[in-house]
Amino acid sequence: MKLRDYQEEAVQSLYSHFRSKDTVALTVLPTGTGKAFVIASVFKDVLERTTDKRVLCLVHTVDLVGQNAETLEEIWGGKVGINAAGLNRRDCYERGIFASIQTVHKKAMHLGSFDLICIDEAHLISSTETGIYRKFLKEMQQINPNVKIWGLTATDFRLKGGLLTDGDEALFDEVIYDKNMLWFFEHNYLSPLISKPVINRGDTQGLHTRAGEFISKEVNEKFDKDEITRKAVAEIIEFGQDRVSWIVFCSGVDHANHVQQELIDQGVDTVCITGKTAKVERAKAIKRFKSLEIKCLVGVDVLTTGFNAPTVDLIAFLRPTQSPGLLVQMAGRGTRLSPETGKKDCLLLDFSGNLNRHGPIDQIKGKSKKRGSGGEAPQKYCLGCGAICHANVRICADCGYEFEIIEKPKHEATASTAAALSIHETGRATLYKVDRTTYSKHTKKGGQYSMRVTYWMGLLEICSEWVCFEHHGFPRTKAVAWWYARTDTVVPDTVIEALNRVDVLKSAKGIHVDKSGKYPEIKGVEF
């Protein structure tokens, strides 16, 4: 399989790095851009070009172990080892092994020496010395002091926001490859994210935080109410009528069950998955969802990482989060392309103010902390069973192990709607009063039709914009967002159809225009 240009760039950046440095490297590629193929390509090179070198890939979920192993076997043609209790495999002697960290973290000596260790979903690694990843890697370095360590992630920061390269105990030394998420949207490698204002937003005012996240008990008390659930579900159904697959993220198990029941009562085939769902049941539900047998998955602290379902074109946030990394991961479930289902974008319905709290998905960055600052509260690994838990969890849902709770200062947050991507965000600009708006068909030489929208103040033309209903990819996505900002009616497929329906559009009362660039740019519209 031929790699995409950016995937090849990522591979070559790794080779270039290790030719001159021994530092621990980190590659950043957004969800849906094929990290598994980058890993497989590097492993294939090592296994084919040498006779004695060994490679190991560590992940935190059984699903990812199997997926990554299958990808390598697909492009390489050989068999690789798997060491994961959940897959009933304990391979130890193969040159290429994919392993669950929960299974192998105490078995470094048994696995033997490796020349390259890759860590997928690196943002989940604990920031402290007690993390099971760190202990395992230190033992591997004792076995082979020359082992190379390489991480991959969709975000170069942990769930709580701290950069993976910052802090005294940072495992990774530097980011060697990174492309902004917006580049992938603009080049049609990812399905764009759009947002739509929702009427029924949950009130997060007065919620407190513990270990960097909203206190779950308080969240449940505010969000798990019949009236809130009923209204939110009604909006999800309304906005999702023409969409294929939905994911709804809830605040707790009871909340998720109530949301699921309300969806079922409204005629939507829905399955609920939580951390307590049996593995067999979870696998069956996901299989049915991916095959489009059911329309909606409701989840609690699952489906956020390593879950691959390209058909997802609507994601609803019914839970607030203080974690920028978690928000990016949740939104990432909708960025994969699905031309087979006619997917044009993924609609984010934010009932919890997350986009306003953290900003557009493509602009979310980690919080830099200088070495010596101590870092943020770490993600925890259960000492009883090895499960990965949020830092605010007191009791492990899998085995009942009790953690010590660390209290942090109270925090209040106010939620509101916001843009999903920075391309939709209102920047600093001059506000102009608008008296009237005109619409016309525009033809660019050698190109497709678009609708020219011109805003006027008296006889003065303030600014124009071009809405590309007949285009594909990101221009079409922008056109959809433009239309939904002005009406709830179905988006036109052609310019002529749009011109015939301009009477349904809300009239602009003012526009924010940025004239600092080469051309004036409309940053926002007031109605």
**What are residue 395's DSSP bridge partners?**
402
Q: Please, which residues have CB within 8 angstroms of residue 128's CB and are 6 or more apart in sequence?
A: 134, 169, 375, 378
The tokens for 469 are: 């209903």
Which domain does 356 fall in, by range? 193-366+409-422
| DSSP H helical ranges for 359-490 | 473-484
Q: Are 107 and 79 in contact (CB under 8 A)?
A: no
Q: Which of 2, 80, 93 lies closest to 41, judged by CA?
A: 2
CATH of the domain at 301: 3.40.50.300
Query: Do 215 and 314 belong together in one domain?
Result: yes
Query: Do 211 and 356 belong together in one domain?
Result: yes
Query: Do 417 and 440 belong together in one domain?
Result: no
Q: Are 153 and 123 in contact (CB under 8 A)?
A: yes
In a domain, 342, yes or no: yes
Whether the model clears a pTM of 0.85, i.e. scores above it, the answer is no
Query: Do 416 and 452 belong together in one domain?
Result: no
Query: Do 82 and 157 belong together in one domain?
Result: yes
- The pLDDT value recorded for residue 255 is 93
Query: Do 275 and 201 belong together in one domain?
Result: yes
State the amino acid at position 393 in one-letter form.
V
Query: Do 521 and 487 belong together in one domain?
Result: yes
Out of 128, 146, 179, a domain closes at: 179
- The pLDDT value recorded for residue 353 is 86
Q: Please, which residues have CB within 8 angstroms of residue 446's CB and are 6 or more apart in sequence?
A: none
Q: Are 385 and 132 in contact (CB under 8 A)?
A: no
Q: What is the H or E stretch that residue 11 is in? A: helix 5-20
CA terminus-to-terminus distance, the chain: 50
Out of 135, 157, 179, a domain closes at: 179
Number of domains in the chain: 3
In a domain, 185, yes or no: no
State the amino acid at position 67 in one-letter form.
Q
In a domain, 382, yes or no: no
In a domain, 372, yes or no: no
Query: Do 323 and 414 belong together in one domain?
Result: yes
In a domain, 341, yes or no: yes
For residue 165, the number of C-alpha atoms closer than 13 Å in the C-beta half-sphere is 19
DSSP 333: G
Q: Which of 375, 358, 346 lies closest to 320, judged by CA?
A: 358
Distance of alpha carbon 250 from alpha carbon 231, whole angstroms: 15
- The pLDDT value recorded for residue 198 is 76
Residue 232: phi and psi, rounded to 5, are -65, -45
State the CB neighbour count (10 A cutoff) for residue 401.
17
Query: Do 200 and 258 belong together in one domain?
Result: yes
In a domain, 468, yes or no: yes
Query: Do 99 and 240 belong together in one domain?
Result: no
Q: Rounded to whole angstroms, what are the CA distances from 114 to 21, 55, 90, 367?
A: 18, 6, 16, 33
Distance of alpha carbon 295 from alpha carbon 241, whole angstroms: 11
Give the pLDDT of the chain (527 residues) as one tens digit per residue.
Answer: 789 999 999 999 999 999 999 999 999 999 889 998 999 999 999 999 999 999 999 987 777 788 888 888 888 877 889 999 888 999 999 999 999 988 999 999 999 999 999 999 888 776 654 578 888 999 999 999 999 999 999 888 876 667 888 877 778 899 999 988 888 988 899 999 988 777 777 777 778 877 677 888 888 888 888 888 999 999 999 999 899 999 999 988 999 999 999 999 999 999 999 888 888 898 899 999 999 999 999 998 777 666 788 999 999 999 999 888 889 989 999 999 999 999 999 999 999 888 888 888 888 877 665 443 333 333 344 444 344 444 555 554 444 555 544 333 332 322 234 677 765 554 456 788 899 999 999 887 667 889 999 999 887 888 899 999 988 776 787 888 788 888 888 889 899 999 999 999 999 998 888 776 677 888 778 88
Buried b (16+ CB within 10 A) or exposed e, 126-160: bbeeebbbbbbbeebeeeeeebbbbbbbbbbbbbb
DSSP string, 488-526: SSPPPSSHHHHHHTGGGSPPPSEEEEE-SSSS-EEEEEE
The tokens for 308 are: 């691959």
- The pLDDT value recorded for residue 429 is 66
In a domain, 22, yes or no: yes
In a domain, 234, yes or no: yes
Query: Do 98 and 205 belong together in one domain?
Result: no
State the amino acid at position 182 in one-letter form.
L
Residue 456: phi and psi, rounded to 5, are -125, 145
Query: Do 104 and 122 belong together in one domain?
Result: yes
The tokens for 461 are: 């033309």
The tokens for 509 are: 């009362």
**What are residue 36's DSSP bridge partners?**
none
Q: Is 149 helix (H, G, I), strand (E, B) or coil?
A: strand
Out of 120, 145, 179, a domain closes at: 179
Q: Are 211 and 439 in contact (CB under 8 A)?
A: no
